[in-house]
């Protein structure tokens, strides 16, 4: 007679169980997908929005209905003092802060010959200075607790350039430089700093681009499709987790092979 012995394995805890993550620009698109991924992985999310209050409230209702915890905070991340207040409010609400995702960003696409100084400065102030503001606001907390995860959303435009996007590409290239420099600076404190560089992802931002430009881009992607926001969200959740403790200073490309 043979016996079958069942091996009981302990349940694997969610990847971000009890971790609190702050996300800038979390009410839609990639930011919303990151909020959803964090909560699905057992974490709690505070996220900023600038003006889309209804969208932000809908995200909170959705993740709360699925058993997650989320807090929406209105803020302009170009304002350093306001960004400091967002970090303080997150810690007051949840009692801790374990990670930061800098996602908030805008585009003002034009040929350089038509680009105004305001077009240039607004994109740099939001995308690059906003990333600095949030990192600066959170870094002291991370250093004191000798632990923390920072994930900065950059773009393949920051790696390979993009026509009619010199302001956007410059801001995203700057984020990569910031990421690598800060990673070296704070590695000894148990803090990792990485960037995610998406290619074409199906969001409202890409939907607003010219149809001919989108189709031309699709033909250059080896996997033959645009990415999904949830795929970026899953990657962010991994980089925020304990499993990614030996990854720092990297710009992780998620583009279906576009930059190969």
Phi and psi, residue 198, nearest 5°: -75, 150
> Is residue 24 within 8 Å of 78, Cβ to Cβ?
no
Measured at the CA of 181, the angle between CA 161 and CA 29, to 5 degrees, comes to: 50
pLDDT tens over the chain, length 260 residues: 444 444 555 555 689 999 999 999 999 999 999 999 999 999 999 999 999 999 999 999 999 988 889 999 999 999 999 999 999 999 999 999 999 999 999 999 999 999 999 999 999 999 999 999 999 999 999 999 999 999 999 999 999 999 999 999 999 999 999 999 999 999 999 999 999 999 999 987 777 777 887 888 899 999 999 999 999 999 999 999 999 999 999 999 999 999 99
| C-alpha span between 179 and 132 (Å, rounded) | 10
Half-sphere exposure of 25 (CA within 13 A, CB side): 18
**Is 246 one of the catalytic residues?**
no
Beta bridge partners of 150: 100, 193
* Per-residue pLDDT at 1: 45
Beta carbons of 157 and 199 less than 8 angstroms apart: no
pLDDT of residue 4: 47
Integer Cα distance of 232 and 174 in angstroms: 20
DSSP states along the chain = ---PPPPP-PPPPPTTTT-EEEEES-SSHHHHHHHHHHHHTT-EEEEEESS-HHHHHHHHHHHHHTT-EEEEEE--TT-HHHHHHHHHHHHHHHS---EEEE---------GGG--HHHHHHHIIIIIIHHHHHHHHHHHHHHHHT-EEEEEE--THHHH--TT-HHHHHHHHHHHHHHHHHHHHHGGGTEEEEEEEE-SEESHHHHTS-HHHHHHHHHT-TTSS-EEHHHHHHHHHHHHSGGGTT--S-EEEESTTTT-
Residue 32 and residue 38 in contact, taking contact as beta carbons nearer than 8 Å? no
Which tokens go with 5? 């012995």
> Domains of the chain by range and CATH?
20-254 (3.40.50.720)
Supply the pLDDT for residue 215: 87
User: Which one is catalytic: 49, 168, 238, 246?
Assistant: 168
Q: Are 203 and 229 in contact (CB under 8 A)?
A: yes
d(CA 102, CA 172): 12
pTM confidence score:
0.93
């Amino acid at each position: 007679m043979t016996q079958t012995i069942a091996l009981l394995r302990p349940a694997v805890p969610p990847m971000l169980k009890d971790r609190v993550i702050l996300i800038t620009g979390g009410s839609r698109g990639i930011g919303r997908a990151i909020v959803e991924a964090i909560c699905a992985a057992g974490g709690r999310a505070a996220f900023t929005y600038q003006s889309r209050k209804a969208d932000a409230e809908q995200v909170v209702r959705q993740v709360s209905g699925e058993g997650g915890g989320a807090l929406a905070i209105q803020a302009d991340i170009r304002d350093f003092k306001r960004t400091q207040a967002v970090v303080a409010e997150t810690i007051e609400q949840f009692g801790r802060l374990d990670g930061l995702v800098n996602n908030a960003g805008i585009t003002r696409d034009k040929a350089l010959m038509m680009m105004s100084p305001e077009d240039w400065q607004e994109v740099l102030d939001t995308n690059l200075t906003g990333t600095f503001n949030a990192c600066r606001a959170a870094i002291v907390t991370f250093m004191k607790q000798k632990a923390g995860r920072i994930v900065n959303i950059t773009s393949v435009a920051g790696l390979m350039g993009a026509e009619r996007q010199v302001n956007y590409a410059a801001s995203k290239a700057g984020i990569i430089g910031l990421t690598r420099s800060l990673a070296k600076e704070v590695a000894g404190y148990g803090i990792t700093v990485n960037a995610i560089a998406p290619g074409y992802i199906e969001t409202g931002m890409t939907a607003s681009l010219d149809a001919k430009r989108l189709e031309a881009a699709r033909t250059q992607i080896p996997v033959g499709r645009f990415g999904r926001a949830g795929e970026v969200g899953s990657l962010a959740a991994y980089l925020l987790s304990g499993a990614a403790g030996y990854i720092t200073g990297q710009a992780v490309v998620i583009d279906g092979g576009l930059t190969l």
